[in-house]
Structure 1
Amino acid sequence: MNNPISAILLDASVLLVNENDNEDDNNIDFLNPRADYILRMLHYSKIPFGLSYGQGLSAIKVSHLQQIGNVYSCRCFVWNSTSAKDFIREVAQAFGDVRGYFVHVVSSQIEDELVLKLKDSLWVMVLLQSVEQKSTNGISLSEYSKAIFIDKIEELPLTICCLIKKAMDKVNIKTIAYTMKPSREDDFIKRGAFPLCPTESGLMFLPLSYELPLPTQLKQVDALLHKVTDEIVSIEMSSTDEFIDRIIYTSRMQELQRGTECQPSFCIIDPFDKIYPILDRLRIQEILLGLEGFKTLGHQRIRGPHFLKVNSFDEPNLEKEIAGARLSLPNIVKPQVACGVADAHSMAIVFKVDDYKGLNVPLPAILQEYVDHSSCIYKFYVVGRRVFYAIKKSTPNAQTLMKFSEGLKPLLFDSLKSLPVVKEKQQNEDNKSRNPDHCMDLELVTDAANWLRQILNFTIFGFDVVVQEGTGDHVIVDVNYLPSFKEVPDDIAIPAFWDAIKEKL
């Protein structure tokens, strides 16, 4: 889909901070902290862009700007009020076949004369003004109707989206706002999943900024994609009753939820209350019980692991309760809270019943069947109607673990950071014991994935499957919302991601 913006020029006046020049120190970082975010967004959105600066810029800042240009593979252009036409011609030639207009993002301190000389060209000026400049009305632009004033650099993505939508008013473009923790957002941006310019399927992606009024942003978008679990402050889980009422979100997420409630027709991917089951490992285990009956002609089946909820590790009848839940040692012990809080991934593998006493895993907890699976786990990603998977190394079989557990003491670990693993030699021994007739059955798991999609009503989610030694049972050991699916090649995953969002809309 053609982008009506031929290129964006970011001027030094908005990229660099106004620190005193120090010609003797080339290590000074003059870059505005938020400007780097904008640069990366434009770069990974594949929007053509360049940098500009006036002739009066100091040598050290020119050098710094050129370094930025090298990082992002973009050119620097020099302007002045007496050579505006030459500047326009040089930029047009640099970006080749010009079919749209140029956006020049500058400080409103820029020379008035230069702005006015651009008024008859295919240029739109976006002017960043400070509080001081607003109080004095900035520069006079009464003769130039194509000027847009912004107060913060954070407004630029929204401004670009609005410009594109206005220019393509007869094309059905949908704008998707998104919010998630910076590291996750950065992963998606680098893969080209969140372009500011329209995709072939007619989607644009806008990062929500909590530095700006949320109502203004929400009015300009058609849907919200979120990772609400990144915004959880605390969860109380003494039971699963009234679970929703005991989740406390960050103040900004609470503000966002209130803002979306004011727009009943607003599309949320996915509704906040749909996420609650995956916060609760007990609820997920109960949902997986519904897989009873999923079998192949070879009598392989897919199921959840056997499990038991405990409120205390000191329960007098714990051993009897474990046996009644069809559990045998070792067990893997997980907090009932599945995500969103600091210790949700603090787990243990326990080999002896006596070692439950004083176990350092948050309560309430889920005791889960430890499935021998030859150190091999299948990570499945459901993206709309598409199902992908990747094969990863995992924990070894129980007998192998027990050989390397000193005195069969519990193995404590954080599943986000590291798993209990053994050397490659021991892992190969696990692989040799694997029954070749018990390979992963893709059709069986795909059927289960489609069933889960209907039950959970998620647009994008993931789950982990292990194939049990001996029985060939396919056991789903984890379910998560909006995974990164980074193991799937970008040229396959990203179009499927966009299609899933468009279908949801």
Structure 2
Amino acid sequence: MGAVKALLFDSSVLITEDGDGTVSFQSGAEALLWRLAYSKLNLGVSYGESVSAQKVSFLNKIALLLSLKCFMHKKCSIDASVNDISQAWGKTGESCLYVASSKDDELYRSLSNNGWFIVLKSAESADDVVESEKENLRLLYIGKLEELPFIICRLNRKGRGDGILSVGYVMKPSREKDFAKRGAFPMYPTQNGLIFVPLALDFPLAFQMQEVDAVIHKATDEIASVELSTSSEHSIKVTFSNGMKELERYFQGHPGCCIIDPLNNIYPVLDRLRIQQILLRLEDLNMVGCSRIRGPHFLKIDDFKDPNLAKRLSEAKLSLPCIVKPQVACGVADAHSMGIVFQAEDFKDLQVPLPAVAQEYVDHSSLLFKFYVLGDRTFHAVKKSTPNADFFLSSCMEDGLKPIIFDSLKSLPTAKDQQLGGQVESKVDNLDLELVTEAANWLRQLLDLTIFGFDVVIQEGSRDHVIVDVNYLPSFKEVPDDIAVPAFWEAIKTSCKSRSANRE
């Protein structure tokens, strides 16, 4: 038996028709189809002669959208229909699944004789099926469509033997779709032996986790609240969604499960103050006569009306303008609400959540270098960034140098082409890639993270390389997919092996 390469759905599993003729997806069907489609599996849907014209029209639209094939089977020529389907997907040594919601013994028998597996979506328990029937018809039972990826996972592991790792993943749907579109989450085994399966936090974990060797997560998508703590060990207290809490409890009860990455490891990147304190230690990497890499000067602010704030800014080597960010870096609605402040008196009415971190505004020729760490490999991309301070000063004179308030995810004020000075290539050449790569490896070991990103700007004049932001499991979409996705897979597999070895 080979890996599962094709799935054929009976139309009754995917769609339903109301009394007024309105056709819609069955629960869970739409999400399942695009997950399968992005896994590069062959997909099809079959329907009988009695299916309504409305359903056929709906199915044809699905077929066009997801590149799946439609087949009509006739009772009088079941074997011929099955032969047509098998020819369309004839892959030697690979398995095909037929998913249905009602029994059709003649069709089942014809498909199973051609090497197909039958998956029946039914409330009937597999325990109630006669064993010989299951063997003859190669029957598998599921109660919900959400179970199907785990059936595929199980068959793929049996088909490919030892060395296959199944990786469950948890993140918000929009992020999952972004990764899946780029081929990052295939259910068909990757070249380095990984299978990906979506975990549903509203579905019993015991069933799902028995098929999973490792879990990769974007736990920041599941944060319900973040509270700052006075504890020296943990600067923040994170409350996750109920589903993520359940997964966290599962991890605690099953220490053998590989987590990429342990939840405690991501806490530093949720706290901008903690990250700034970590970046202070970059000084250890610097050598005399070479470019320097460092974090920006910074100051924690608990009260914008502090009468000693100007003095404290000076003592922290902060001159104006400076950029002010909430201390909590993600997981709350206003974590990305920031301000650029030009005058000390404007702090008192600043609309940035407290506590906050005032950070050095580095003149950096309006260029930002985005670095992505995927295991032991590092990639980077160049992007437009905020203008130098003098551009802000000249443009804000008419407004009296009022603070610039923005959401860094939506409205980051970036430089215009004329503000780049026409010397982009020469400015890019200032990047000391070896130095930043060394810093990336240092951060990877210190934070013990598998996949993370950070932003670097190069200060005009001094050419200091300044790391201004660190984040967990970024999209790394600026890196070409044919390079980034295999590196992503290899980072996961290497991390699994490393963490398993450490547990032993």
TM-score (norm: length of structure 2): 0.92
Match of 1:34 among 18, 25, 28: 28
In structure 2, the residue matched to 1:197 is 188
Written as runs of structure 1 = structure 2, the 5 A alignment for 1:96-175 is 96-107=90-101, 109-130=102-123, 134=124, 143-145=133-135, 146-168=138-160, 170-175=161-166
The one-letter code matched in structure 2 to 1:114 is: L
Counterpart of 2:55 in structure 1: which amino acid?
A: K
Give yes or no for contact 1:6–1:98 (8 Å, CA) kept in 2: no
- Distance in structure 2 (CA, Å) of the matches to 1:437 and 1:428: 12
Distance change >3 Å, CA 6–CA 237, structure 1 → 2: closer
Q: How does 1:177-196 map to 2 (within 5 A)?
A: 177-196=168-187
How far off its partner does 1:259 sit?
1.0
Among candidates 44, 54, 74, match of residue 60 of structure 1: 54
Q: Is the 8 A contact 2:236 2:267 kept in 1?
A: no
- The alpha-carbon deviation at position 83 of structure 1 amounts to 2.3
Partner of 2:63: 69
1:51 is aligned, of 45, 51, 66, to 45
> Is the partner of 1:148 in helix, strand or coil?
strand
State how 1:281-296 maps to structure 2 within 5 Å: 281-295=272-286
- Return the offset for 1:404: 1.7
Would you say the 8 A contact 1:104–1:124 is kept in 2? yes
Q: Could you tell which deviates more after superposition, 410-419 or 32-41?
A: 32-41
| Alpha-carbon distance in 2 for matches of 1:434, 1:311 | 41
Query: Residue 499 of structure 1 is aligned with which of 482, 487, 490?
Result: 490
Aligned CA-pair RMSD: 2.3
1: distance between equivalents of 2:240 and 2:336? 19
Kindly indicate whether the alpha-carbon contact (under 8 Å) linking 1:129 and 1:138 is maintained by their aligned counterparts in 2.
no
Secondary structure class of the residue paired with 2:16: coil
Question: Structure 1 residue runs of 4+, over 4 Å off?
Answer: 137-142, 431-438
Contact kept, 8 Å, 1:7 with 1:95, in 2: the verdict is yes
The C-alpha deviation readout for 1:405-445, integer Å capped at 9, x for no partner, is 221000000101111235433x134x669985971111111
In the aligned structure 1, how far is the partner of 2:54 from the partner of 2:322? 62
2:17·2:55 contact (CA, 8 Å) conserved in 1? no
Matched, 1:409 2:408: no
Shift of 1:346: 0.6
Distance (Å, rounded) in 1 between the aligned partners of 2:131 and 2:73? 19
Which residue of structure 1 lines up, in the alignment, with residue 499 of structure 2? none
Identity %: 52
Using the TM superposition, give the Cα deviation of residue 142 of structure 1 relative to its aligned residue in structure 2, in angstroms.
Answer: 5.8
Distance 1:139 1:53, change over 3 A: farther
* Residue 101 (structure 1) shift: 2.8
Q: CA separation of 1:17/1:99 partners in 2, compared to 1, >3 Å: closer, same or farther?
A: same
Q: 388, 409, 413: which one pairs with 1:420?
A: 413
Contact 2:229 2:235 in 1 (8 A): no
Q: What one-letter code is carried by the residue in structure 2 that aligns with 1:397?
A: N
Give the equivalent residue in structure 2 for 1:25.
none
Structure 1 counterpart of 2:309, from 303, 307, 318: 318
Show the 5 A alignment for 1:420-439. Answer: 420-425=413-418, 427-429=419-421, 439=430
Amino acid in structure 1 at the alignment position of 2:302: N
Amino acid at match of 2:250: G
Aligned to 1:372, the other structure's residue is in SS state coil
1:34 offset after TM fit, Å? 2.2
Partner of 2:342: 351
Partner of 2:360: 369
Compared CA separation, residues 242 and 234, structure 1 to 2 (3 A): farther
2:412 is paired with a residue whose SS is: coil
- Match for residue 336 of structure 1 among 317, 321, 327: 327
Change in CA separation of 1:325 and 1:337 when aligned onto 2, cut-off 3 Å: same
Q: Give 1:480-491 correspondences, 5 Å limit.
A: 480-491=471-482
Tell me whether 1:461 sits opposite 2:452 in the alignment. yes
Deviates more, 1:431-440 or 1:116-125: 431-440
What CA distance in whole angstroms lies between the structure 1 residues aligned with 2:417 and 2:427?
20
Q: Distance in 1 between matches of 2:108 and 2:425?
A: 72
8 Å Cα contact 1:384-1:501 kept in structure 2: yes
Contact 2:322 2:340 in 1 (8 A): yes
Question: Which range moves more in the overlay, 278-287 or 29-38?
Answer: 29-38
Which segment drifts farther, 137-146 or 97-106? 137-146
2:116 partner amino acid:
W
Shift in Å at residue 116 of structure 1? 3.7
Q: Distance in 1 between matches of 2:428 and 2:486?
A: 35
SS of the aligned residue for 1:30 comes to strand
Taking a change above 3 Å as real, the CA distance of residues 202 and 257 of structure 1, as seen in their structure-2 partners, is same
User: SS of the counterpart of 1:192?
Assistant: coil
Structure 1, unaligned stretches of length 5 or more? 23-27
Partners of 2:366 and 2:415 within 8 A in 1: no
Kindly indicate whether the alpha-carbon contact (under 8 Å) linking 1:127 and 1:150 is maintained by their aligned counterparts in 2. yes
1:250 aligns with 2:237: no
Letter in 2 for 1:196: M
Alignment of 1:176 onto 2:167: yes
> What is the TM-score with the length of structure 1 in the denominator?
0.92
State how far apart, in whole Å, the 1-side matches of 2:133 and 2:284 are: 73
- Residues 299 and 20 from structure 1, CA distance in 2 versus in 1: closer, same or farther, beyond 3 angstroms? same
Structure 2: distance between partners of 1:483 and 1:490: 14
Match of 1:226 among 192, 217, 229: 217
What displacement does 1:114 show? 2.7
How many angstroms apart in 1 are the aligned matches of 2:372 and 2:231? 27
Provide the aligned length of Structure 1 versus Structure 2: 492
For the Cα contact (< 8 Å) 1:438–1:469, is it kept in 2?
no
1:434–1:469 Cα contact (<8 Å) kept: no
Indicate conservation of the 8 Å contact 1:335/1:366, yes or no.
yes
Unaligned runs of 5+ in 2: 497-504
Deviates more, 1:5-14 or 1:405-414: 5-14
Give the CA deviation at 1:257.
0.4
2:13 corresponding residue in structure 1: 14
C-alpha change, 1:372 and 1:329, in structure 2 (3 Å) is same
Amino acid at match of 1:4: A
